[in-house]
Amino acid sequence: MITLALSKGRIFDETLPLLKAAGIEVLEDPEKSRKLILPTNQPNVRVVLVRASDVPTYVEYGGADLGVTGLDTLIEHGGQGLYQPLDLNIAKCRMSVAVRADYDYAAQVRTGARLKVATKYTAIARDFFATKGVHVDMIKLYGSMELAPLTGLADAIVDLVSTGNTLKANHLVEVERIMDISSRLVVNQAALKLKQAPIRAIIDAFAGAVKKD
């Protein structure tokens, strides 16, 4: 049995065409069913639905043989024990720093002020500000980061930006782009050895179906 870990939403939806290229069709719609294990048209392949931030953990410990995860989640996890053969070029967005429109970020950085930064992505944020030489107090949040500068919880946020609509709706502006994000295929290294042929077949089919920019 080959188990593929996916998260609901954009990653699931954008992985379907890649699965199709590998001859795999998921037989149930996660938006309609409460099932967490979804069968496919291939009796030896199943999809498990996990929280996006749990995909690397499932694959690391062998709860799934493969998974699709955002680069953001992968960096925060650390990537240890994971073979990362492919950038799938799906679920694309960017990781950015944003502040209130009336906050003079450049001046704060220039004068060496300490920044209060709220984010779900503490590893990426820490690394980014350390490289810039900016001292930060990190505030860990689990969602709705945009609220932090509006309520005085933080001076800045580090968050994913896709269309920019959420920033705009909350009167925040993007002041730095930290990195481009897309989803990656991750593979359990033991599974790759033990189930080499079927896993290689999936990797190769995905590789052939990845859309280039």
**Cβ closest to ligand PRP, residue 7 vs residue 40:** 7
Q: How far apart are CA 151 and CA 3, in angstroms?
A: 43
Of 3-42, binders to ligand PRP (CB under 6 A) are none
Q: Please state the closest distance from residue 40 (CB atom) to ligand PRP, in A.
A: 26
Of 154-213, binders to ligand PRP (CB under 6 A) are 159-166
**Cβ closest to ligand PRP, residue 160 vs residue 209:** 160
**Cβ closest to ligand PRP, residue 176 vs residue 204:** 176
Total residues binding ligand PRP (CB under 6 A): 12
Q: Please state the closest distance from residue 71 (CB atom) to ligand PRP, in A.
A: 14
**Cβ closest to ligand PRP, residue 144 vs residue 189:** 144
Rama region for 152: left / alpha / beta (φ>0; ψ in -120 to 50; rest): left
Q: How far apart are CA 170 and CA 102, in angstroms?
A: 12
Alpha carbon of 31 to those of 42, 49, 81, 90, 101: distances in Å?
21, 11, 31, 20, 37
Q: Please state the closest distance from residue 122 (CB atom) to ligand PRP, in A.
A: 14
Q: Please state the closest distance from residue 161 (CB atom) to ligand PRP, in A.
A: 5
Q: For the chain, how many residues are written?
A: 213
The per-residue DSSP string of 94-154 comes to EEEEEEETT--HHHHHHTTPPEEEEES-HHHHHHHHHHHT--EEEEE-SS-TTHHHHHTS-
Q: State the first-to-last Cα distance of the chain, in angstroms, to the nearest integer.
A: 33
Nearest to 129 by CA among 105, 145, 162: 105
Residue nearest ligand PRP (C-beta atom): 143
| Residue 84 binds to ligand PRP (criterion: CB under 6 A) | no
**Cβ closest to ligand PRP, residue 3 vs residue 149:** 149
Of 133-152, binders to ligand PRP (CB under 6 A) are 143-146
State the residues that interact with ligand PRP by CB under 6 A.
143-146, 159-166
